[in-house]
Every structure is written in C-alpha cells, then in structure tokens.
Amino acid sequence: MADDGVPVEQRRFGNGDHLRPSFIEPYRCSNVLVEGVTLHRSPMWEIHPVLSDHVLVRDVVIDTHGPNNDGCDPESSRMVVIEGCSFDTGDDCIAIKAGRNSDGRRVHVPSEDVVVTGCRMEDGHGGVTIGSEMTGGVRNVFVSDCEMSSPNLDIALRFKTNSVRGGFIEGFHARDLSIGQVAGAVVDVNFFYEEGPGHGFNPVVGDINVQRVTVGTAGRALNLRGYSDDHITGVHLSDVDFGTTANPSVVEYVDDLTLSNVTENGAPMTV
C-alpha cells in the first residue's frame, strides 16, 4: 500500500485481516518507562517505540520465539536507553529501525542517540541489529557491557540494508562485549539483504567502531559486503579477540577497514 501511494488513513485493517500486532508500542510519546516486566510469546515485535523520545527500557525479560519476534525495536526515535534486559527471541534481540522504503522516505525521521548497556542476548537472528527498516537513517548508537551467547544466535552485531531501504548508518560504537558462541559472523554489514542492489536508493554506511570484545567461537569474524558502486566506509576494530572461527572473513567493497590488536584463532587477524 505504501509503494502504491495509498494514503495512511485508508490503510485500515480489522477482524479477518490476521495482522500480528506489536505488543508494547508507544507512538509519538515522550518520557516512556518500561521496567521490570516479563514478555512471553507475543506474536510480533515485543517493545516498539515509534517516533518517540526519552525512552527507558530497563530490567525487562523477553522470552518469545516465533516469526518476527524481535525483542526491542526503537524506530525513528531518539534518546533511547535499553538497560539490564534479557533477550531470548525468534528474531533480532534488539533492532534499531527508522522506517521502510517509500514510507520511510515520506516520514524521514532517523533513530539517534540510542544506548544499549548491561544486556544479555541468547537466541536470535542478531544480538544488536540496525535495520533492515532504516530508511530514515540511524546515528549515534552506543553498545556496552553486554553478554551474547547461543548456538542459535546467528550474528552478534548486524547491519542489514539494501538499495530499496536506502538511508544511512553512522556513529555506531560497541565496546566491552563478551560473546561466547555465535553461529554466523560476529560483525555483519550486508547490503544484499532481501532485494539487494540495483533499485536506486543505495545506503550510506560507515563509522562503525568495535573495541574490547572477546569471542569464544563463531562461524566467522566478519561478513562485510558493500556494492561495487557503494562502498562501506570506515569499520574500525581494536582490542578484539575473535576466538575460534570456522570460516574466513568476507570483505567486499569496504574502504578504511582498520584492525588494531585484533586476533583470530590465536594469531593476529589479517583480511
């Protein structure tokens, strides 16, 4: 409907449409507190602040498996803190979003100034994810002092976008993470999510900084895939031990990748 230009007020649904709703969804709100609750088996995204500011999600337990069971997804929101929470989910544990495709360009509001600290992630597609709905852009994300580990955790730090989503990611900072086991990549920046290249809205992604991270085992350290005409610019890793990895890293069309005191399989990492 968005792609077809249907006005928002005409996009009405009710009984018989079988849409799975987000569970807690503050919309255009300020000064939001979600604290000390356990969310179990909600059918869609669990906590989804939209176009909101000054949001605190603290000491929340999310235990829910199923399609699109993201844990906490701030979207087009600012000044968000997610602190001391536990995630065991069927999709991304935390996914920072900013609108999708034509609707994202219509509203055009970024997510910015987001802090994730002291959280634990178990099962999920991504521990901390940006996207894929990030058309309005995401900036200034700070992740610290988190633990992630599960054979069913696909990716630790995940950035997913494509040339339909467009948008930008800038100013991502992660530090002091303990990652026990992750099935896929530890850091994954992938422009080939779903539709991939060739649709006219290439994303702008860079200024990704990861430091003081220890990993037990992983499928691979890095999966960084830009486009030949749209490079990832600026991925900086320092004091990272990727532990034991099963597969070599994938690095395609990345400018300014820096490694400082980064090891893998007991030796200095090279890409």
The closest alpha carbon to 27, from 57, 1, 55, 68, belongs to 55
Query: For residue 222, what are its two tokens?
Result: 């890095």
Whether 125 is catalytic is yes
Class of residue 258 by CB neighbours under 10 A (exposed 0-12, middle 13-18, buried 19+):
exposed
Beta carbons of 154 and 182 less than 8 angstroms apart: yes
Name the active-site residue from 91, 92, 154, 188.
91
Question: What are the distances in angstroms from CA 28 to CA 20, 48, 84, 123?
Answer: 21, 11, 24, 30
Rounded to 5°, angle at Cα 65 from 64 and 70: 70
Distance between CA 3 and CA 214 in Å, rounded?
A: 43
E strands, 9-77, are 30-35, 38-40, 53-58, 61-64
Whether 199 is catalytic is no
Q: If DSSP codes are grouped into helix, strand and coil, which group holds residue 86?
A: strand
Beta carbons of 204 and 240 less than 8 angstroms apart: no
Helices of type H across the chain: 101-107
Name the active-site residue from 70, 73, 92, 125.
125
Please count the other Cβ atoms lying within 10 Å of the Cβ belonging to residue 226: 23
- Nearest 5°: phi and psi at 107? -80, -45
Q: Which residues are catalytic?
A: 91, 125
